Structure 1
Amino acid sequence: MASAALLGEGLGVNLLLCAVVATAAATLSARSAGRRVRPWTVVWTLGALALLLVPAISSAGWPTAPAIIVAAGTGSLALHGGSRWSGVLLGPVGFWAHVTTSLPWAAGGLRGANLPGRGKAVQVLKAVAVSVGLLVVFGALFASADATVADLLEGLTPSLDAEDLPLRVLLFLVGLLVSLGAAHTAAAPRRWDKFPVAPGKQRSRVEWALPMTVLSLLFAVFVSTQVAAVIGSDDAIRTKPGVIPSQFAREGFWQLLWVIVLTLVVVALAKRWAPRETAGDRLMVRVLLSVLCALTLAVVASAIYRMQIYVDAFGLTRLRVSVAAVELWLGVVFALIIVAVVLGSQRWLPRAVVLSAVIGTAVLGLSSPDAWIAEQNVAMSERTGKVDIDYLRNLSADAVPALDRLSGDRRTCALQQIAEDLSEEAPWYATSLSEARAREILRERPVEKDRGTACRRAGVRVDPYGR
């Protein structure tokens, strides 16, 4: 019912409200099945709900979409549980296997259930029906008596037009399947931790240690040259003959990103095939893996440094923010691996890695990265007089407070498309906080519609309709 009433007009706090209802259904089902609440179940549940705050805060689609996807996976993991790699990797997608079986499960339960609370349920339904009737009658009277009350009630009440009926029915069915799937998963989760994973074949010391040592030495050489260049002569890098700072950053950043990703694969395979028969074998594995991961952290720092040079030259963009966020997360993963290797205990590592991804996605979305991008580029324009209006005008409503600081044709061009997108009012439950703030700014300082004249004066190519 919440999905049918709230999800037809955009995304905002409505997605979180529907998730809370589904969480309640899953909680009741789990209690009925005798499942106990475990700390990690609470952590995953709170993480999923925190991720669904992103569409309520930000109107930018590019951090909101990953947040919703990760929230769905985290919610599935909360329902399934899991501590091993098989559990935390298959748990986030295991929920969908329950959706198809949840309908016959629910139908069978209703047919065979002895419902002692049926009389109370009927009383509740009667009370709800009477309450709705009273609200409709007296709400209509108050609305007709005062225009302010009418506007307030119109904003608070979901609009249910006959034209939207097919969409509402579809949303109702989707909400029903998700809620029943969550309840079925909570009652009888698949234990993906029991998925059989054969241990890797042990290699000899020489066969395993030689490649790891060679790779570590190569990393050490690279890191040493970077440290010497940055500490000894930062200007030498920035003024290298024939290479401007942006080219220096671009030449190495993407290669370093691939190095980091491939190193993560190498560490996983090395751990699987490592010798582990004697205490000496295990000590050697700890030392070499710790050294390689520590050197990889230095490579991460080098990649981020190069990205900073690039941003200083050309400003922030969505791609640069996304890649830098991935770089930082990979650095956190390597730091967690180092801790696990040093402590000699890895039972907590799979869940810690997934939790770091959940936290990183939530922080990225809740911090409104489009606002960062606009703020950094506007600040650069105030220092240098140069700004890429063609790029900034395609940002979301999150960027309006910063773009409002531009002047003249630059402000008009940067805000025209956003103002047009926000021209249609949306109900409170389908409006993000940034959209509400942007509408307030644009009401105080409206943007004129001039079919792209201001953009052309600002040097931006647009069609005759200003797009």
Structure 2
Amino acid sequence: MLADLRSDPPAPIRTATLCAALATGLLSMLLLGDGLAINLLIVAVPAALAAYFAAQRAGRAPRPWTLAWAIGGLALLVVPALRDAGWPSFLAIVSALALGALALHGSRTWPGILLAPLGIFDGVLTGVGWAWRGLRERAGGSRSGPVLRAIAVTVVLLVVFGALFAGADAAFAGLLGDLMPDASLSGGPWRVLLLVFGVVGALAAARTAASPVRWDRLVVGPGKARGRVEWALPLIVLNLLFAAFNAVQLAVLFGGYDVVLEKTDLSYSEYARQGFWQLLAATLLTLAVIVVALRWAPREGERDRSLVRGVLGTLCALTLVVVASAVRRMDMYVEAYGLTRLRVSVVAVELWLGLVIVLIMAAGVWGARWLPRAVAASAAAGVLAFGLLSPDGLIAERNAQRYQETGKFDLEYARGLSADAAPAVDGLPEPLRSCVLTRIADGLGDESAPWYATSLGESRARQIIEERPPRYDGLGCAQFDEETSYR
């Protein structure tokens, strides 16, 4: 199957591509061993250049969507540089890899969007051999062969003897300062592995850009068209069920606290917790129903197309009310119990699902050719916004505000937040402030990482702790936790 999807064999690798891949490996070896922050973006730049040079040699000019994917992927790598929390950074890195795969393949269909990352693994298997053949050709007598050998020997000598001298003399190591990575021999095998990882990754990206797998050639045909009654009756009944539920939501959920108590005999928070997960599942199932319905929709003429638009458009509109109800329920629950990582994450997912439904409605009016790329772009934009928003900082800020209003605060949960929460925690009264900041300070440790491996969130937290050191009192924190906890 892959043989049918492959492009023509790539042209011989360019010297510029080889140099960019080597630069990626060296930067990976020198920068990535101390943690992830702005160094990840620094390493990604020469890897992107290697792919650009390879695509240029293959005659692939950058298109608007290609540039959008590439710029979006690099923008996502800013998140680890800003946030100390690992979970938004992980989402950003995974999303950046996905956008990079889309930029390399130029995919525009659903199979292309979903399968593009698999093409990178194909490039890993073939990229090294492609580069080796290029090196052998250059070493066989071309003018660039001696130059490449001289550069390789120079780099090896600088790295080896620079590491030895820096490890032998503290004054020489200090001369390099914090602007240079650690040049000692500690962790040597790990740094060699990072070198290999960087070179192979850059070559995989370049090989994919030079000859991508054409996933768009995979054609998923429509299902067998059903009759109007067979297709429309279940969906119309489903629409009526959605309409009845939404009518109850408008009358009960948005009517206020007194209405909730009167209609359900539940507390405000119990009512909110009872239904959010069911509504999230209902939103996901609705998207699945829409996909299945479109596959087997009647399509004999304009009347059938109008029927499909009307029935599915109504279902989408009613589902948006369900999305709003789910978000409102979570807001009620947060008012009662505070904000957590799980709660902010599922609300973000629910809002994105609502956006996908809006995009589906727009595709029903203006055509669906652009829909796969729009959905992928909206997901990447959501992950970027999620990281820039600083979830841990938002959680700490919201819960600090709730403490001012109600006197309730989950101290144990707040102490598990990352350094991104430090600015919001700094405004809390004592001993609450010290109880939280002490745990953050313990997590940061005494020694800071190099500038290229330090996030902005960590830097701000260290500054706050240095200017106003926390005064920890274990007994006082335990007593305070019992007085303020709502558990």
Q: Give your verdict on TM over 0.5.
A: yes
Q: Which of 106, 109, 118 is matched with 1:81 structurally?
A: 106
Aligned length: 453
Q: Which of 184, 194, 214 is matched with 1:161 structurally?
A: 184
Q: Which of 33, 39, 47 is matched with 2:64 structurally?
A: 39
1:434 aligns with 2:448: no
Determine if contact 2:410/2:481 at 8 Å carries over to the other structure: no
Letter in 2 for 1:426: A
Q: Which of 419, 422, 434 is matched with 1:397 structurally?
A: 419
Q: Residues 19-34 of structure 1: matches in 2 within 5 Å?
A: 19-34=44-59
Offset at residue 295 of structure 1 (A):
0.7
What SS is found at the alignment partner of 2:459?
helix
Aligned residues: CA RMSD: 2.7
Q: Which of 45, 49, 70 is matched with 2:95 structurally?
A: 70
1:446 is aligned to 469
Offset at residue 338 of structure 1 (A):
0.2
Q: Residues 87-126 of structure 1: matches in 2 within 5 Å?
A: 87-113=112-138, 115-118=142-145
Residue-by-residue CA offset, 1:99-149 (whole Å, 9 max, x unaligned): 11211121112223474445665787799899999x99xx99xx959xxx9
Letter in 1 for 2:332: I
Q: Which of 343, 365, 368 is matched with 1:342 structurally?
A: 365
Any stretches of 5+ residues in structure 2 without a counterpart? Answer: 1-25
1:12 is aligned to 37
What SS is found at the alignment partner of 1:200?
coil
2:77 is aligned to 52
Q: Which of 379, 384, 387 is matched with 2:406 structurally?
A: 384
Determine if contact 2:402/2:409 at 8 Å carries over to the other structure: yes
Letter in 2 for 1:105: W
Residue-by-residue CA offset, 1:200-240 (whole Å, 9 max, x unaligned): 11111111010111111111111111112355566302565
What SS is found at the alignment partner of 1:391?
helix
Q: Residues 267-416 of structure 1: matches in 2 within 5 Å?
A: 267-343=290-366, 345-416=367-438
What SS is found at the alignment partner of 1:155?
coil
* Separation of aligned partners in 1, 2:254 and 2:56: 59
* Separation of aligned partners in 1, 2:460 and 2:419: 8
Letter in 1 for 2:60: R
Pair 1:295–1:115, CA change in 2 (3 A):
farther
* Separation of aligned partners in 2, 1:189 and 1:172: 25
Residue-by-residue CA offset, 1:133-186 (whole Å, 9 max, x unaligned): 9x99xx99xx959xxx948x4211101322210110111111111111001101
Q: Which of 190, 197, 202 is matched with 1:179 structurally?
A: 202
1:204 aligns with 2:227: yes
Pair 1:154–1:240, CA change in 2 (3 A):
farther
Letter in 2 for 1:296: T
Letter in 1 for 2:134: G
Letter in 1 for 2:459: A
Pair 1:415–1:194, CA change in 2 (3 A):
same
Residue-by-residue CA offset, 1:282-332 (whole Å, 9 max, x unaligned): 110111111111111110001001111111111110000000000000000
Offset at residue 448 of structure 1 (A):
4.0
What SS is found at the alignment partner of 1:7?
helix
Offset at residue 51 of structure 1 (A):
0.9
TM-score scaled by length of structure 2: 0.87
2:273 is aligned to 250
* Separation of aligned partners in 1, 2:255 and 2:330: 20
1:464 is aligned to none
* Separation of aligned partners in 1, 2:212 and 2:410: 51
Offset at residue 352 of structure 1 (A):
0.2
Identical positions, percent = 50
Q: Which of 259, 262, 266 is matched with 2:285 structurally?
A: 262
Pair 1:68–1:129, CA change in 2 (3 A):
closer
* Separation of aligned partners in 1, 2:240 and 2:262: 28
TM-score scaled by length of structure 1: 0.91
Pair 1:144–1:163, CA change in 2 (3 A):
closer
What SS is found at the alignment partner of 1:407?
coil
